[in-house]
Structure 1
Amino acid sequence: MDMRTFVILCHLLRNVAGLSSTEIVNVEEMVAMFLHVLAHDVTNRVIQREFVRSGETVSLHFNLVLLAVVRLYEELIKRPVLGFLTLYRGQRYHLQEWRGAGNAPINAKEYFNMKHSSARNVIERAFGVFKGHWAILHGKSYYLLQVQCRTILACCLLHNLINREMTYCDDVYDVDEGDSAYATTTASEDIHYIETKNEWSQWRDELAESMFTDWKLRNA
């Protein structure tokens, strides 16, 4: 996080989330301590030494900032518009199954599965980048479960803020691999299916047909 984004974060925490300085620690310092814990997964004792604060002070202000960051939910999370759309069973799914010029999708269901698989791979890579930003997500956590849940949400919100404000970052994912006949992604574990509502399935069928028709026109 660069200094400009840090200033924006502190501004949001003050004016949107209601975070304020205490008698002994101002907002900037408490936010800096909080970010240091998330980014490097250091212990309370390390923060005590580096910021010259007591353990009680560090713990108190970590939780104050954590609660304030979570209150930025409406500011930094985009709500999904559509419901979850499952893949088609009994059709090819993994990207490697379309590798090679002779293995292009032959119907709308296969094309939808190809795009679904591509999106899944993008999401998995996004999780890798996400964990790369926040070392606190790497291993076991010894925080209370409620704190762990809030910490994960806070990391998501901060990740979105960084991507929004630091537009020069290189966290670019290879989106749309499914359009390539030479996708190199390998198959992973079996998919656990989730049933959707009937109206979602109908919408998925209409979407798949539209996508497949458009793709055939573009590749005619």
Structure 2
Amino acid sequence: MQFIYVLAGWEGSAADSRVLRDALFRNGFSVPQGHYYLCDAGYMNCEGFLAPYRGQKYHLSEFNPHNQPSTAQEFFNMKHSQARNVIERVFGVLKARWEILRGRSFYPIKTQGRIITAC
């Protein structure tokens, strides 16, 4: 439950793929050889990034003791979703620790980026 890279300063309306491209090509973010980062269905599978299978069950609420994964793709998606839940929990811990991150911010965008990086 640690952040290994932070890129703050993009508006919330920016496309995720555009922010990732910026991190990869301008800000020196890289994926260590032989490792992968999880990404959501808005991204494509490519070297270093694993997106869930489309058209398959994904959310943990879709799996239960009576409705287990029936294909390898569903099993992968279930494990992917479990890992993504940890990622979402990290953001919850961050917001719980730093009250300034919980509400709307009226600071300029540059200051907001600095606040996020500091937290």
The two structures have a TM-score, normalised by structure 2, of: 0.57
Pair 1:90-2:64 in alignment = no
Q: Structure 1 CA distance, aligned partners of 2:102 and 2:52?
A: 30
Structure ID, larger Rg: 1
Pair 1:152-2:116 in alignment = yes
Larger relative contact order (Cα-Cα within 8 Å, sequence gap ≥ 6): 1
SS of corresponding position for 1:103: coil
The two structures have a TM-score, normalised by structure 1, of: 0.32
Give ranges in structure 2 of 5+ residues lacking alignment: 1-28, 37-47
Instruction: Note the aligned Cα RMSD (angstroms).
Output: 1.9
Report what 2:26 is aligned to. Answer: none
Q: Structure 2 CA distance, aligned partners of 1:108 and 1:145?
A: 43
Letter matched to residue 91 of structure 1: Q
Aligned residue-pair number: 77
Q: CA offsets, 1:55-98, max 9 Å, x none? A: xxxxxxxxxxxxxxxxxxxxxxx964333211101111111222
Pair 1:130-2:102 in alignment = no
Question: Greater helix percent: which structure?
Answer: 1
Change (3 A) 1:84 1:121: same
Letter matched to residue 62 of structure 2: E
Q: Structure 2 CA distance, aligned partners of 1:147 and 1:125?
A: 25
Q: Structure 1 CA distance, aligned partners of 2:113 and 2:87?
A: 20
Q: Structure 1 CA distance, aligned partners of 2:77 and 2:104?
A: 35
Q: Identity across aligned pairs (percent)?
A: 56
Q: Structure 2 CA distance, aligned partners of 1:146 and 1:140?
A: 15
SS of corresponding position for 2:107: coil
Report what 2:44 is aligned to. Answer: none
Pair 1:113-2:73 in alignment = no
Hey, which bits of structure 1, 4+ residues long, moved more than 2 A?
78-84
Give ranges in structure 1 of 5+ residues lacking alignment: 1-77, 156-220
Report what 2:8 is aligned to. Answer: none
The alpha-carbon deviation at position 149 of structure 1 amounts to: 0.7
The alpha-carbon deviation at position 130 of structure 1 amounts to: 0.7
Q: CA offsets, 1:99-118, max 9 Å, x none? A: 01x42222221111001111
